[in-house]
Amino acid sequence: MQINFNKNFVLERLFIEFFQELCSNATLDSYRAKSASPKSILAELYQVLQDWKDKKIKTADTVIELKNEVLELLETDDYIVYGKTSKKFIISLLNKLNDLNKSAKSNDNTKPVEIDKLIINDLIQKIEYNLYYLLIINEHYHINLINKIQEIITSTYEDENEFVKTQYVLHKTCSYLISDLINNGFSRAFIRQYFDSNFWKTNPSNFTKRFHEFKTTFSYETKITFAVVFKLSSNTGIALKENIKNIYTESSEIITKYNIDNERALGFLQVNEREKLILIETLALDRYQAISNARKDVEIILDVFHLIKYSESQTISSTVLVLNTKNTKDVYTNKLQSRNDSSQSEPENYIELINKLVAIKDNPCVIDEVSDKLYSCIKHLRLANESNSPEQKFLNCWIGLENIFANYNIDSSTFRRIKTNLVNAHLVSYTKRNLHSFHKMLTKSPIRKQISHYNETDLCYLKSKETYDQIIGLEDKFPLIAFRGRYLKSMIFNDVGQKKKYINKHKKNLERHLTRMYRIRNEIVHDARTSYNIDNIYINLRYYLTFVLSKCVDFFSDCKPKPLLKNMISMDDFFSYQDSILETLALEDYSIEKSMNVPHSVDLFI
């Protein structure tokens, strides 16, 4: 039975490491938990159908693309319950949405549009009801996932192939659970911190107890009233003298109300004449979400203050005090916003970026518009970093992205150009990026000492099957690295059809995520709202912007004149270049040699 014990221990370790990676902002976007679970995407489709009926969404393709994503998730999900309906019925019903794209035609030409509208409205009504029904009866979907994880970890595995398949099922289930918890109101930061602190130094003797605590914490989604205290400062203090409708709260009142004796909290509550405290109570599942909720109220207050005293600077401290009103010992000082992309570049990278930007601007072969677009991109990245508002962060990154891809001299939508050209550029670097990330993972781990041909500066060792076999053979000591190695081995050394399957899957995921981002952009711009958990989606948007910026800077910093000097190098040349490389990779069957030698670094400047 020793072999089964080891396999269970591997699964316990994988469970912990999966959660840490899926919740990390520093890992690759492909390895982070997705924005939607099979349950939460049902609510998303419900909202999109309503927006379609309200004519906020103009193209049926947007609805159908989301419908296709829903179908894929439902077809591979085993945890959604269907009650009086069935999976087969729901899939059949959703497939009828393809009728949205059919032309309204009739042989006798008698009111065809009105007839089609009635049919479509009835269909949407029926779908909306069934989505509502599924959401109601799947209230405890996350508990089903937790129970499945427990079953996977505690089962016995005699067959090696079954054990390997189970690891992928565990990863998928953990990903679904995190996505669902976040959409239910937990914050990614809280989930990550919970695992870092509660599963630290876990071993077979204490895992069961810790898993039970995890199950209790995340099964019962009971919101708590948190008190969040913001410190508002002014450059003159004049505006702070006007306590409109008693917005400010005295520190002594806060200390008494919540019986605070924590030294760090008491230190935070000390203010000078140019500082005031704003207290906001809010319901949330964890303190990070409480901060996010309360921040929205504070932003409204700041906006009003700015209208009253527009000449005076008023800022919120980067640190806030947050405490659990039911347990006043549960008190923390937290950063108002955590860094959304924790992969900080080295100083020399910024120097290289500046040098390349200067070279691009001074290059007479490159059209001036290129430099303007790149500088605008950097400007909006800075504005996104400086903003405390999730919506402003998102919009600034989206503006930067649109600016890169916009071309008003041709009849083509900017979003369509983003969806085509950004995806192509990312697909070109997909394999190379994954291998570079894996190399960094190995470099940080003691496993590198047990890999025969490991080389810190040369990634050629990752072209060898032997390397992956050695890594997989060490899964009892390095479960997550072995899991990653097994996946990369199958992606690199499989037959051409399987390689294309990996690439096409990534392409589809990118296109869907960009469409989701575009819907968010439209919600914010046109409705001044968003129905999404924007903090998590922003992380990916910022990555896409920094990715394409880095690729552009590399490309344009080394451009030579065209045969006709009057034909200067433009953004369209960059897009054509990426498209040509992608077609070449496809013709070469995505060989490991070609994929690792695609031009330009996969490291980001920012």
In the predicted model, what is the mean pLDDT of the chain?
89
Task: Answer yes or no: are the C-beta atoms of 315 and 256 closer than 8 Å.
Answer: no
pLDDT at 341 over 60: no
- For 485-554, the DSSP string reads HHHHHHHHHS-HHHHHHHHHHHHHHHHHHHHHHHHHHHIIIIIS---S-HHHHHHHHHHHHHHHHHHHHH
Phi, psi at 335, each rounded to 5°: -65, 140
DSSP annotation of 567: S
Phi, psi at 584, each rounded to 5°: -65, -45
Percent of the chain scored above 70 by pLDDT? Answer: 91
36: left (phi over 0), alpha (psi -120 to 50) or beta: beta
Burial class of residue 9 in the structure, from the number of CB atoms within 10 Å of its CB (0-12 exposed, 13-18 middle, 19+ buried): middle
268-297 tens-digit pLDDT: 999 988 888 999 999 999 999 999 999 988
Please, which residues bridge with residue 227 across strands?
281, 323
Domains of the chain, by residue range, sit at 2-37+141-219, 40-76+81-137, 224-335, 347-427+527-596
Six token digits for residue 213: 């605590």
Distance CA 90, CA 76 (A): 14
Of residues 285 and 108, more confidence is placed in 285
Hey, what amino acid is at 136? I
588-599 tens-digit pLDDT: 999 999 999 998
Place of tokens 């190379």: 432
**What pTM was computed for the model?**
0.91
Six token digits for residue 477: 């000591």
Distance CA 577, CA 424 (A): 10
Report the pLDDT value the prediction gives residue 342, as an integer from 0 to 100. 45
Report the pLDDT value the prediction gives residue 104, as an integer from 0 to 100. 38
Six token digits for residue 235: 């450059």
pLDDT at 238 over 60: no
| Upper half-sphere CA count for residue 62 (Cβ side, 13 Å) | 23
3-state secondary structure of 102: coil
Burial class of residue 143 in the structure, from the number of CB atoms within 10 Å of its CB (0-12 exposed, 13-18 middle, 19+ buried): middle
Of residues 343 and 357, more confidence is placed in 357
Distance CA 210, CA 202 (A): 8
What stretch of H or E contains 593?
Answer: helix 592-596
